[in-house]
Amino acid sequence: MYKNVPFLPLAVIGIIVAALTAGQALLIDWLPPADSEQAERTFTLLWFLFWSSLIFFVIVTAVLVYAVWKWRAKDGDLEDGPPIHGNTTLEVVWTVVPSIFLIVVAVYGYIVLDRNEALAADRLNVDVYAQQFNWTYGYPDAGIETGTLVVPEGRQVQLNLRARDVIHDFWVPEFGIKGDAVPGITHKLWITPTKQGTYPVICAELCGVGHSVMRSQVKVVSAKEYSAWIARATAGVKATAAASAAAATLETAPGDVAAGKVVFEAKCSGCHAELGAKAGVGPKIVGTKLTTDELRTQIKNGKGAMPGGLATGTDLANVVAFVESIK
Ligand code: CUA
């Protein structure tokens, strides 16, 4: 049955095609290092698909090249080819073999997806906010927000992707996974980093003029460093909140008119002449219609040519009390 099959020429063509294809696969560095559990599985699946496709590609191409070379029409030959009635065995083989292969691929792909998205009980929740053109990361359990994503090695991270304006796409090549951030919905990604280091976060969806610079970083650190980082960041947030609460209390406390006059002379009278009784560079203050709150806000933030922050804390409360006494 196989007496007429030209094994030798087919083998020679097959080896050449296989060498050229494998050369392309091996000589070019197609993929980044796989630095997450998900990337290891996905990249292995990808190479499995590649090498098995190569087998089919080599068989089909070898037969094709051989047939084109062997049975090409001679010069001046205008005859029709001989009538062929088909080959049942061949047709069954070329249907059944690819079908089995596709089932194998489907099952393998399902297993990879299922493992990549299996939820760990101790997973770390991080909210990812994308907007033109930057990334911010919220840690709901710690109540902090950062511009760099910091995650511990070896622990699953659940990224809740959200967009504040248009569609963006969160992509860390080394993690082997990317996901769209779409306005109005939360899209989840699960990543378990396996190697410490700093990786780029890239926006992989055209989102406007700044798309190409919409980059950030993810730092994968040890579990210990991560806990220390969270503790520091949380303490920082608490200290800032406490400081601004304390400052607000001082500012709004009842002020002392005499002490306020001293502050006024030092900081304000250069522009508000004669203790505010006359216009200088700045307007006259006596007769102002500003309320206490408006006065305080204006001294804090400035207005027009007047700079903000001339008086803070107790000084601010005192100077407001003084202005109140003359207005
Ligand atoms: Cu955001 Cu592209």
The fourth-level CATH superfamily of domain 253-326 is Cytochrome c-like domain (1.10.760.10)
Q: Which atom of ligand 1 is nearest to the CA of 205?
A: 2
**Percent of the chain residues past pLDDT 70, beyond the cut:** 99
Buried/exposed code over 36-61 (b: 16+ C-beta within 10 A; e: otherwise): bbbbbbbbebeeeeeeeebeeebbeb
Express as a percent the part of the chain with pLDDT over 90: 50
Is residue 320 pLDDT above 70, yes or no?
yes
Q: Which atom of ligand 1 is nearest to the CA of 214?
A: 1
Query: CA dihedral in degrees (172, 43, 118, 197; nearest 10)?
Result: -40
- Spelled out in words, what is the top-level CATH class assigned to the domain 124-234? mainly beta
Average pLDDT over residues 296-322: 83
Candidates 207, 221, 217, 226; CA nearest to 135 is 217
- Judged against a pLDDT cut of 90, whether residue 298 lies above it is answered with no
d(CA 236, CA 30): 42
Dump pLDDT digits (tens) for 214-254.
999 999 999 999 999 998 888 877 787 777 777 777 778 88
How far does residue 317's CA lie from ligand 1's centre (Å)? 46
**Is it the case that residue 84 has pLDDT exceeding 80?**
yes
Q: How far does the centroid of ligand 1 lie from the alpha carbon of residue 216, in Å?
A: 11
User: Counting atoms of ligand 1 from 1, which one is nearest the CA of 132?
Assistant: 1
Rounded to an integer, what distance in angstroms lies between the CA atom of residue 151 and that of residue 196?
9
Q: String of b and e for 64-97 (b: at least 16 CB within 10 Å)?
A: ebbeeeeeeeeeeeeeeeeeeeeeeeeeeeeeee
128-175 residue pLDDT tens:
999 988 999 999 988 888 999 999 999 999 999 999 999 999 999 999
User: Closest ligand 1 atom, CA of 212?
Assistant: 2
What is the average pLDDT value for the chain, to the nearest integer? 89
Rounded distance from Cα 211 to ligand 1 centre (Å): 4
Please tell me the predicted confidence (pLDDT) of residue 137. 95
What angle do the packed helices 292-301 and 223-252 form, to 10 degrees?
130
Q: How far is the CA of 191 from the centre of ligand 1 (A)?
A: 20
Distance (angstroms) between ligand 1 centre and the Cα of 31 equals: 22
Angle at 79 between CA 76 and CA 81, to 5 degrees: 125
Residue 139: what pLDDT? 93
Angle, alpha carbons 59-61-62 (nearest 5°): 65
170 C-alpha to center of ligand 1: Å? 8
How many angstroms separate the CA atoms of 12 and 150, rounded?
Answer: 54
Per-residue confidence at 269, pLDDT binned at 50, 70, 90? confident
Q: Which one is predicted more confidently, 307 or 41?
A: 41
pLDDT at 250: 77
Question: Any alpha helices (H) in the chain, and if so which ranges?
Answer: 7-27, 37-70, 88-116, 223-252, 257-267, 273-276, 292-301, 313-326
pLDDT at 270: 76
Q: Which protein residues touch ligand 1 with a CB less than 6 Å away? A: 130, 133, 168, 203, 205-207, 211, 214
* pLDDT class of 1 with cuts at 50, 70, 90: low
Its pTM stands at 0.68
With beta carbons less than 8 A apart as the criterion, state whether 170 and 200 touch: no
Residue 209 CA to ligand 1 center (angstroms) comes to: 9
Q: What integer pLDDT is reported at residue 238 of this predicted model?
A: 79
Rounded-to-integer distance, Cα 41 and Cα 21, Å: 23
Distance CA 93, CA 88 (A): 9
Q: Among the atoms of ligand 1, which is closest to the Cα of residue 206? A: 2
If you take atom 1 of ligand 1, which residue's CA is the nearest one? 168
| Distance from residue 204's CA to the centre of ligand 1 (Å) | 6
pLDDT at position 100? 95
Domain boundaries, the chain: 7-69+88-116, 124-234, 253-326
Tell me the C-alpha distance between 127 and 125, whole Å.
7
Task: State the closest ligand 1 atom to the C-alpha of 181, by its place in the atom list counted from 1.
Answer: 1
pLDDT of 2 higher than 80: no
Give CA torsion, residues 8, 13, 17, 22, to 10 deg.
30
pLDDT higher than threshold 80 for residue 201: yes
- What are the pLDDT digits (tens) for 6-64? 888 888 999 998 999 888 888 888 899 999 999 999 999 999 999 999 999 999 999 89
Do 33 and 199 meet the contact criterion of CB atoms below 8 Å apart? no
- Residue 211 CA: nearest ligand 1 atom is 2
